[in-house]
Protein backbone atom coordinates (compact mmCIF):
# COMPACT_ATOMS: atom_id res chain seq x y z
CA UNK A 1 0.00 0.00 0.00
CA UNK A 2 1.18 3.50 -0.77
CA UNK A 3 1.90 5.88 2.04
CA UNK A 4 4.40 7.84 4.06
CA UNK A 5 6.73 6.18 6.54
CA UNK A 6 8.29 8.20 9.32
CA UNK A 7 10.96 6.77 11.56
CA UNK A 8 11.67 6.47 14.33
CA UNK A 9 8.36 6.81 16.14
CA UNK A 10 10.11 8.05 19.28
CA UNK A 11 13.50 9.77 19.42
CA UNK A 12 15.54 11.07 22.31
CA UNK A 13 18.19 13.70 21.87
CA UNK A 14 20.88 14.83 24.23
CA UNK A 15 21.75 18.47 24.54
CA UNK A 16 24.05 19.59 21.70
CA UNK A 17 23.33 16.63 19.45
CA UNK A 18 22.10 16.66 15.89
CA UNK A 19 19.41 14.12 15.07
CA UNK A 20 17.81 13.16 11.77
CA UNK A 21 14.17 12.23 11.28
CA UNK A 22 13.39 10.02 8.32
CA UNK A 23 10.47 10.50 5.92
CA UNK A 24 9.94 8.17 2.97
CA UNK A 25 6.97 8.07 0.57
CA UNK A 26 6.02 5.68 -2.20
CA UNK A 27 3.14 7.76 -3.53
CA UNK A 28 5.16 9.36 -6.32
CA UNK A 29 4.24 12.77 -4.89
CA UNK A 30 6.36 15.72 -5.97
CA UNK A 31 5.87 17.94 -2.93
CA UNK A 32 6.93 17.03 0.60
CA UNK A 33 6.63 18.96 3.86
CA UNK A 34 7.81 18.96 7.46
CA UNK A 35 5.62 20.31 10.25
CA UNK A 36 6.21 20.77 13.94
CA UNK A 37 3.40 20.40 16.48
CA UNK A 38 3.70 21.45 20.11
CA UNK A 39 1.27 20.10 22.72
CA UNK A 40 -2.23 21.47 22.23
CA UNK A 41 -1.11 23.54 19.26
CA UNK A 42 -1.57 23.54 15.53
CA UNK A 43 0.98 22.64 12.90
CA UNK A 44 3.78 24.98 11.93
CA UNK A 45 5.67 24.58 8.67
CA UNK A 46 9.42 23.99 8.97
CA UNK A 47 10.54 23.23 5.41
CA UNK A 48 8.97 22.11 2.18
CA UNK A 49 10.17 20.81 -1.15
CA UNK A 50 8.29 20.89 -4.44
CA UNK A 51 10.85 19.03 -6.55
CA UNK A 52 14.02 17.05 -6.09
CA UNK A 53 17.11 19.07 -5.18
CA UNK A 54 15.04 22.09 -4.22
CA UNK A 55 13.47 23.14 -0.93
CA UNK A 56 12.19 26.27 0.78
CA UNK A 57 12.09 27.50 4.35
CA UNK A 58 8.79 27.54 6.12
CA UNK A 59 7.77 29.68 9.07
CA UNK A 60 10.11 28.14 11.68
CA UNK A 61 13.17 26.89 9.77
CA UNK A 62 15.82 28.12 12.20
CA UNK A 63 17.72 25.24 13.78
CA UNK A 64 16.56 22.73 11.17
CA UNK A 65 17.98 21.49 7.87
CA UNK A 66 16.66 19.25 5.10
CA UNK A 67 17.74 17.58 1.88
CA UNK A 68 15.82 16.25 -1.11
CA UNK A 69 18.19 14.08 -3.11
CA UNK A 70 15.50 11.59 -4.08
CA UNK A 71 11.82 12.08 -4.82
CA UNK A 72 10.90 9.48 -2.22
CA UNK A 73 12.90 10.88 0.68
CA UNK A 74 12.86 14.14 2.65
CA UNK A 75 14.90 13.78 5.86
CA UNK A 76 14.83 16.48 8.52
CA UNK A 77 17.85 17.20 10.71
CA UNK A 78 17.27 18.90 14.03
CA UNK A 79 20.53 20.65 14.80
CA UNK A 80 22.00 21.76 18.09
CA UNK A 81 21.02 25.30 17.13
CA UNK A 82 17.36 24.41 17.74
CA UNK A 83 17.06 25.33 21.39
CA UNK A 84 13.65 23.82 22.07
CA UNK A 85 13.31 20.77 19.83
CA UNK A 86 10.94 18.72 22.00
CA UNK A 87 7.84 18.36 19.84
CA UNK A 88 5.86 16.09 17.54
CA UNK A 89 7.10 16.17 13.94
CA UNK A 90 4.87 15.34 11.01
CA UNK A 91 5.94 14.72 7.44
CA UNK A 92 3.45 15.11 4.59
CA UNK A 93 3.37 14.83 0.84
CA UNK A 94 1.05 16.14 -1.81
CA UNK A 95 0.36 15.94 -5.52
CA UNK A 96 -1.52 18.49 -7.57
CA UNK A 97 -4.54 20.11 -5.99
CA UNK A 98 -5.25 17.37 -3.50
CA UNK A 99 -4.81 17.45 0.22
CA UNK A 100 -1.86 16.24 2.20
CA UNK A 101 -1.06 12.65 3.00
CA UNK A 102 0.60 12.53 6.41
CA UNK A 103 3.00 10.15 8.04
CA UNK A 104 2.36 8.86 11.55
CA UNK A 105 4.83 11.27 13.12
CA UNK A 106 7.99 11.25 15.22
CA UNK A 107 7.94 12.34 18.83
CA UNK A 108 11.27 13.98 19.71
CA UNK A 109 12.29 14.54 23.32
CA UNK A 110 15.40 16.24 24.65
CA UNK A 111 16.92 14.40 27.60
CA UNK B 1 -0.74 36.43 4.32
CA UNK B 2 -3.26 33.75 4.95
CA UNK B 3 -4.76 32.93 8.29
CA UNK B 4 -6.99 30.24 9.71
CA UNK B 5 -8.86 30.84 12.96
CA UNK B 6 -10.47 28.19 15.10
CA UNK B 7 -12.02 29.90 18.11
CA UNK B 8 -13.09 26.81 20.05
CA UNK B 9 -10.14 25.26 21.90
CA UNK B 10 -12.36 22.51 23.30
CA UNK B 11 -15.90 21.25 22.90
CA UNK B 12 -18.11 18.59 24.41
CA UNK B 13 -20.96 16.83 22.64
CA UNK B 14 -23.29 14.07 23.70
CA UNK B 15 -23.06 10.84 21.79
CA UNK B 16 -25.47 10.68 18.83
CA UNK B 17 -25.90 14.46 18.72
CA UNK B 18 -24.60 16.76 15.98
CA UNK B 19 -21.76 19.22 16.57
CA UNK B 20 -20.37 22.17 14.61
CA UNK B 21 -16.70 23.10 14.73
CA UNK B 22 -15.99 26.65 13.64
CA UNK B 23 -13.36 27.81 11.17
CA UNK B 24 -12.85 31.20 9.62
CA UNK B 25 -10.16 32.11 7.14
CA UNK B 26 -8.57 35.13 5.64
CA UNK B 27 -7.23 35.25 2.11
CA UNK B 28 -7.08 37.59 -0.84
CA UNK B 29 -6.88 34.72 -3.31
CA UNK B 30 -9.90 33.84 -5.45
CA UNK B 31 -8.95 30.20 -5.82
CA UNK B 32 -8.24 28.19 -2.72
CA UNK B 33 -9.13 24.97 -0.99
CA UNK B 34 -10.33 24.32 2.53
CA UNK B 35 -9.67 21.08 4.36
CA UNK B 36 -10.53 19.45 7.66
CA UNK B 37 -8.31 16.91 9.37
CA UNK B 38 -8.85 14.73 12.43
CA UNK B 39 -5.98 13.94 14.77
CA UNK B 40 -6.64 11.16 17.31
CA UNK B 41 -4.44 10.82 20.38
CA UNK B 42 -2.12 8.54 18.41
CA UNK B 43 -1.01 11.56 16.40
CA UNK B 44 -1.73 10.71 12.78
CA UNK B 45 -3.60 13.25 10.69
CA UNK B 46 -6.67 11.87 8.95
CA UNK B 47 -8.19 13.75 6.01
CA UNK B 48 -11.94 14.28 6.45
CA UNK B 49 -13.34 16.65 3.86
CA UNK B 50 -12.44 19.19 1.18
CA UNK B 51 -14.20 22.30 -0.17
CA UNK B 52 -13.00 24.25 -3.18
CA UNK B 53 -13.59 27.97 -3.29
CA UNK B 54 -15.54 27.67 -6.53
CA UNK B 55 -17.68 24.77 -5.38
CA UNK B 56 -21.28 25.94 -5.19
CA UNK B 57 -22.49 23.08 -3.04
CA UNK B 58 -21.32 22.27 0.45
CA UNK B 59 -19.07 19.22 0.60
CA UNK B 60 -20.28 16.09 2.35
CA UNK B 61 -18.50 12.87 3.27
CA UNK B 62 -20.60 10.44 5.23
CA UNK B 63 -21.31 11.98 8.65
CA UNK B 64 -19.13 14.99 7.85
CA UNK B 65 -20.34 18.07 6.04
CA UNK B 66 -18.73 21.42 5.49
CA UNK B 67 -20.87 24.53 5.92
CA UNK B 68 -19.14 26.86 3.45
CA UNK B 69 -20.11 30.53 3.58
CA UNK B 70 -17.77 32.27 1.19
CA UNK B 71 -18.90 35.83 1.85
CA UNK B 72 -18.34 35.35 5.57
CA UNK B 73 -15.11 33.40 4.92
CA UNK B 74 -16.19 30.56 7.12
CA UNK B 75 -15.87 26.80 6.63
CA UNK B 76 -17.45 25.09 9.60
CA UNK B 77 -17.32 21.32 10.00
CA UNK B 78 -20.55 19.60 10.98
CA UNK B 79 -20.38 16.10 12.42
CA UNK B 80 -23.76 14.39 12.61
CA UNK B 81 -24.63 11.57 15.01
CA UNK B 82 -21.43 11.87 17.05
CA UNK B 83 -19.67 8.68 18.06
CA UNK B 84 -17.21 8.04 20.88
CA UNK B 85 -14.51 7.49 18.26
CA UNK B 86 -14.96 11.07 17.09
CA UNK B 87 -13.14 12.30 20.20
CA UNK B 88 -9.99 13.90 18.80
CA UNK B 89 -8.38 17.15 17.73
CA UNK B 90 -9.80 18.68 14.58
CA UNK B 91 -7.84 21.03 12.36
CA UNK B 92 -9.06 23.35 9.65
CA UNK B 93 -6.56 24.09 6.88
CA UNK B 94 -6.32 26.15 3.73
CA UNK B 95 -3.93 25.78 0.85
CA UNK B 96 -1.84 28.55 -0.63
CA UNK B 97 -2.04 27.82 -4.37
CA UNK B 98 0.91 30.05 -5.20
CA UNK B 99 3.39 28.32 -2.90
CA UNK B 100 1.70 24.93 -2.74
CA UNK B 101 1.61 24.82 1.03
CA UNK B 102 -1.04 24.65 3.72
CA UNK B 103 -1.91 26.84 6.66
CA UNK B 104 -3.46 25.21 9.71
CA UNK B 105 -5.65 26.55 12.48
CA UNK B 106 -4.83 25.92 16.13
CA UNK B 107 -7.36 23.10 16.37
CA UNK B 108 -10.45 22.19 18.38
CA UNK B 109 -10.40 19.31 20.84
CA UNK B 110 -13.70 17.46 20.65
CA UNK B 111 -14.84 15.20 23.46
CA UNK B 112 -17.84 12.96 22.85
CA UNK B 113 -19.63 11.97 26.05
CA UNK B 114 -21.45 8.63 26.35
In A, which residues are within 8 Å of B35 by CB distance? Answer: 99-100
Summarize pLDDT for A66-108 with one digit per residue, the tens: 999 999 999 999 998 888 999 999 999 987 666 789 999 999 9
In A, which residues are within 8 Å of B99 by CB distance? Answer: 56
DSSP character at residue A51: E
Summarize pLDDT for B9-31 with one digit per residue, the tens: 999 999 999 999 999 999 888 88
Whether residue A90 and residue B45 make contact (CB cut-off 8 A), yes or no, is yes
pLDDT above 60 (res B78): yes
Q: What is the pLDDT of residue A97?
A: 64
Q: What is the pLDDT of residue B1?
A: 56
How far apart CA B13 and CA B18 sit, in angstroms, is 8
Which residue has better confidence, A41 or B99?
Answer: A41
SS3 B86: helix
How far apart CA A14 and CA A8 sit, in angstroms, is 16
User: Pick from B9, B45, B100: which is nearest to A102 by CB?
Assistant: B45
The pairing of strands B10-14 and B108-113 is parallel
Q: Which residue of A has its CA nearest to B1?
A: A59
User: Pick from A43, A97, A98: which is nearest to B104 by CB?
Assistant: A43
pLDDT above 70 (res A1): no
Strands (E), chain B: 3-5, 10-14, 19-21, 24-26, 33-39, 46-52, 60-61, 64-69, 74-79, 88-96, 101-104, 108-113
A23 confidence band (pLDDT: 50, 70, 90): very high
Summarize pLDDT for A37-74 with one digit per residue, the tens: 998 788 999 999 999 999 999 999 999 999 999 999 99
A41/B contact by beta carbon, under 8 A: yes
A31/B contact by beta carbon, under 8 A: yes
Amino acid sequence: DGGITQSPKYLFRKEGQNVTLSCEQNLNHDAMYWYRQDPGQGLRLIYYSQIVNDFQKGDIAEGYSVSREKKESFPLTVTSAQKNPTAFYLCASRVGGYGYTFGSGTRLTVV
Amino acid sequence: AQKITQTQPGMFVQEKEAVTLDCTYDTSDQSYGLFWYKQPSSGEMIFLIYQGSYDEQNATEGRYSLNFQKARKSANLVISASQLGDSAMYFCAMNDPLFNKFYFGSGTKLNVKP
